[in-house]
Homo-oligomer: A and B are copies of this chain.
Amino acid sequence: MFPEFETYLKEQESLSNDDIDMMRVKSIEKTLRRKEILVHQGEVCRYKIFVTKGLLRSYTTREDGSEHIMHFSPENTWFTDPESFANAAPSNYTIEALENSEVILWTKNDLRYLVNSIPGLKAYFDALIYKAGTTLRHRIHSAISSTTEEKYEEFIKKHADIYARVPLHMIASYLGVTRETLSRIRRAYTIGK
């Protein structure tokens, strides 16, 4: 579990073995079964998460029972609820494993310590935050300006890996439409080649 993380991180950022060891000491390894929930809506998301294997999602449930998926996080990605994690506030989201997964966790305090101790780690996370911001802005622009068909088409192009691994109704939920609408879009889309 940690070896996969080590391999990945060394590709991303040049870190010494000592640096990696510091991160290992503070890390918590966890195995999740499919459908297992890591953070329940209303709980504090105490961890920054690195997914070494499998796939997580975060979603909210409204009063009427409808689910709305905020994010998919496959292997070799970082994940958390930033608002809950940063402020130790109850999370609006449920974080669930969609496949049998393996994750590494760090608490906020430990992560702060690591960022202060390991040169380059702050810059690494800053770059990730910048990229995440780009993605968020793009998703907003798409939400307000694209047709459902365009959103679907972009999703399967940009997230072919996720598309192949999650049920369609979750893609519909991520895009903000019902599964029936997505089904209609797909019909028209496949016929139109």
B-contacting residues of A (Cβ < 8 Å)? 60, 62, 66, 68-70, 82-83, 86, 92, 126, 129-130, 132-134, 136-137, 139-141, 143-145, 173-176
Known contacts: A82-B130, A130-B86. The answer to whether A174 contacts B144 by CB under 8 A is yes
Known contacts: A175-B144, A176-B145. The answer to whether A136 contacts B136 by CB under 8 A is yes
Return A143 CB to nearest CB of chain B, in Å.
4
The residue in A86, A140, A173, A174 that gathers the most chain B C-beta atoms within 10 A of its C-beta is A140
Known contacts: A143-B143, A144-B175. The answer to whether A134 contacts B62 by CB under 8 A is no
Alpha-carbon separation in the docked complex, A176 to B173 (Å): 18
Inter-chain contact A141/B68, CB cutoff 8 Å: yes
Inter-chain contact A133/B136, CB cutoff 8 Å: yes
Return A141 CB to nearest CB of chain B, in Å.
6
Inter-chain contact A83/B137, CB cutoff 8 Å: yes
Return A33 CB to nearest CB of chain B, in Å.
27
Inter-chain contact A136/B144, CB cutoff 8 Å: no
Alpha-carbon separation in the docked complex, A110 to B66 (Å): 48
Contacts of A137 in B (CB 8 A): 70, 82-83, 136
Contacts of A134 in B (CB 8 A): 82-83
Inter-chain contact A144/B82, CB cutoff 8 Å: no
Alpha-carbon separation in the docked complex, A168 to B126 (Å): 37
Inter-chain contact A145/B62, CB cutoff 8 Å: yes
Contacts of A176 in B (CB 8 A): 143-145
